[in-house]
Homo-oligomer: A and B are copies of this chain.
Amino acid sequence: MQKTMRDDATPEHTRRPTIKDVADRAGVTKATVSKYLNRAHGYAMAASTRERIRAAIQELDFQPSPLARGLSRSATSTIGLVVADIRSQFYPDLVASIQTAAEAAGYTLVLGSSGDDPDRELDIIRSMAHRRVDGVVLVAVRSESDHIDYLRRRGIQIVLASRDLPELVADTVVVDSLAGARTAVRHLRSLGHRHIGHVAGELSVKPFADRRRGFELEAGDDAPVATAQSSFEGGRAAARSLLDVAEPPTGIFFASDTMALGGLMACADLGLRVPDDVSIVGFDNVTVGQLPGIALTTIDSDAVRVGEQATELLLKRMLNPADAGADPVLVTRPAELVVRTSAAPPR
């Protein structure tokens, strides 16, 4: 580990080569190099010139500055990803698949987490717009339509993943919450349950409203429902309120796995055994659900595919000017039942 004698606080950092350096070295102008860089290869350029430029670039290990490029092109090869809360059990797969798809297409991901707060969400969106992201993936956020208008007005494309809005204001990829909920309840019924309850998430969130609706369609309007925040603690409290009565339900359908895990905790709190005393079905199929000791029967939200497809849709709009203005598309993916052992016939 060598040290220079100079004792300066600001060491000389190796200056990055610029397009000008490449041009000089190749004996052409910046413009020509720029053409080489952009108008892809193979078009209207003397083979010898192209070769000299190629060589110069390689020798200098030159890479165009995304900043400068972004400034002059007003596009940054960047995609913004806004999630409600990175901490949630539910996102890892979704985020990972978006990240993978985006990078495969040559885009860099800029991450923002709103903490499920609509104001912070707008801040983040604003900041991304200023940074000139080319598109935004909104994952399970509370996006009011204004947020979306804000972006659209600036020509930034958007896609919603995993949470739809009451109106179809942008491309959206979700799982079929209504059908999934019905499947869940039917599963409980087929096991012999007749008294079934539901722990619902915030009804302002459309998928949660849909799940509740699906529940009611199958279990009837008078079946017991407790609504809470979609969190571990929310599910725990709601489940407790549902179970701590004279005639508790023998099976409960939770609007999310996160809440269902809270439900498991509530059962432990009350000394109830799952599935002996109460059967539980969740929604999402988070990874931890497959652990022995949890073995959560659930509805698969297919996060990986939702993320992939959302990214596809976004890229399509971004890349294809013709598609950019087209009407929003709604993709509803099937929600499949994953049977484990947290739901069984009532004793």
A interface residue numbers (CB < 8 A to B): 9-11, 13-14, 16, 63, 65-68, 70-71, 76, 81, 85-89, 92-93, 95-96, 99, 108-113, 126-127, 130-132, 153-155, 261, 264-265, 267-268, 287-288, 291-294, 321-322, 324-325
- Chain B residues contacting A322 (CB-CB under 8 Å) are 9
Partner of A13, one of B131, B132, B154: B154
Contact in complex: A96, B86 (CB < 8 Å): yes
Closest to A261 in B: B291
Which B residues lie within 8 Å of A14 (CB)?
153-154
A67 touches B65 (CB 8 A): no
- The residue among A11, A67, A264, A268 with the most chain B CB atoms within 10 A of its own CB is A67
Given A67-B76, A265-B291, A322-B9, do A131 and B108 touch, yes or no (CB 8 Å)? yes
Distance in angstroms between the alpha carbons of A267 and B96 in the assembled complex: 29
A interface, over-half SS? mixed
Determine the residue in chain B with the shortest Cβ distance to A74: B67
Q: Are A113 and B86 in contact (CB under 8 A)?
A: no
Q: Are A63 and B130 in contact (CB under 8 A)?
A: yes
Given contacts A13-B153, A95-B86, A294-B293, contact A110 B113 (CB under 8 A): no
Query: CA A230 – CA B267 in complex, angstroms?
Result: 32
List the B side residues contacting A99 at CB < 8 Å: 86, 111, 113
